[in-house]
Amino acid sequence: MPRPADTSDPLSALLRAASDVVTREELDKRLLASEKDGKPLRVKFGIDPTFTDIHVGHAVPIRMLRNFQEMGHLPVLILGDATARLGDPTGRNEQRPSLSKEEVEVNASTYLEQIGTILDLEEGKCEIRRNSEWFGEMDFFDGLRLASRATVARMLERDDFQKRMKDRLPIHLHELMYPVMQGWDSVQVEADIEIGGNDQLFNLHMGRLLQERAGQKPQICLTTHLLLGTDGQKMSKTCGNHIALRSSPEDVFGKVMSLSDEAMEAWFQLLTSQTEEETSAILSGHPRDAKDLLAREVTGWLHGEVEADAASRTFRKRFKDGDLPEEIAEARLPAGPQTLPGILKRAGLASSTSEARRWIEQGGVRLDGEVCKDVSLEVDLSLHPEGLLIQVGKRKVLRAFLKA
């Protein structure tokens, strides 16, 4: 189905980030029906609390959820506290260590806090469920009955299982159950729509299957394009190329600015509400200005516009004009003359004296603004009552004082 030319209506704006819609006809039909009878659609989104932080990649489907919320539908947020303990096999070639109930609980509450910055979690505007609600009381045989609703052949159709078979990587038996569990969530909450990343398409389809078998109307599957990380690779916590929602404004801003120029378009598409026309207009201008705008938008919806503007100014001063940051960390060091590498290590800048030496030899260390390449320089902090300003590279700055 071609996208309507007018992108100002909420649905097309929402679908900007969409990858698959199964199916568009059903979606239109159900939206229409909802409008008629005044019953909001139940839009499910599940997230497993396996870590403490969620990042802007997760924000893409959550923003979509918010769009639905603004259209008057009901987000059904599922905290996969049961599935988290199993671990989603998607895109992994190794098992995740299984988490304890306590760890999952801690993560779940931090997740809610973070999701709350995007979605209105107020009672009545959003339904929050934990899937331990239904999985918690199932016994082994209930589990087997659930397993009997799907077939191995069907399960093995899944891309990442196929890939792993081909690469001769292990597929653990319990991993086959993950899609079934996720699908069962849909049955339990009677979802009309489920949103997920496009690597979740298979799991979302499983929901349709199980719902049909349970005599429900199958949910519409709506997947989002995957947001690539700041380095252009798949965004993941382990790669360190993500931006956590809880990052400081400066951090968010800076990380967006470190995006490659090529990645900008996708970020605009997935994380801002600009229309395509606006986006391409912005991108035809100076890349730096485009990125500044992008960074301000992203920082803005996480921290507010005031903070975003401030972060932008700080960034400019810091990296364009080469100014020192407004707040400089301080370190108090013990008395007595010490070698420069020793100081760097003790101040916590370098993790080893060898690392410190390398920086110095490469001309990356400045003392009170002057590059110092002398590895064996003896520094006596008592000669610097105002503190010694130490800079390493462009980012690490610190003022060292004599310990009182």
Q: Which is nearer to RNA, 67 or 391 (by Cβ)?
A: 391
109 binds RNA (CB under 7 A): no
333 binds RNA (CB under 7 A): no
Encoded amino acid at 20, one letter:
D
345 binds RNA (CB under 7 A): yes
Closest approach, Cβ 333 to RNA, in A, equals: 15
Order of strands, edge to edge, in the sheet holding 42-47? 18-22, 220-224, 193-197, 42-47, 74-79, 127-130
Cα–Cα nearest to 46, from 62, 57, 31:
62
Closest approach, Cβ 257 to RNA, in A, equals: 4
Encoded amino acid at 150, one letter:
A
393 binds RNA (CB under 7 A): yes
Question: Of the listed pieces 27-35, 214-222, 360-368, 379-387, which binds RNA according to CB under 7 A?
Answer: 360-368
Residue 363 CA to residue 359 CA, distance in Å, equals: 6
260 binds RNA (CB under 7 A): yes
Contact 328, 392 (CB under 8 A): no
- Rule CB under 7 A: choose which of 109, 162, 280, 362 binds RNA: 362
Residue 2 CA to residue 53 CA, distance in Å, equals: 37
Residue 23 dihedral angles phi and psi, to the nearest 5°: -115, 160
C-beta atoms surrounding 292 within 10 Å: 17
351 binds RNA (CB under 7 A): yes
363 binds RNA (CB under 7 A): yes
Residue 316 CA to residue 245 CA, distance in Å, equals: 22
Closest approach, Cβ 103 to RNA, in A, equals: 22
Residues 206-225 that bind RNA (CB under 7 A): none
Contact 109, 50 (CB under 8 A): no
Closest approach, Cβ 135 to RNA, in A, equals: 25
- Rule CB under 7 A: choose which of 27, 79, 150, 257 binds RNA: 257
Which residues of the shown chain bind RNA in the complex (CB under 7 A)? 168-171, 231, 240-241, 250-251, 254-255, 257-261, 286-288, 291, 315, 318-320, 341-342, 345, 351-355, 357-359, 362-364, 392-396
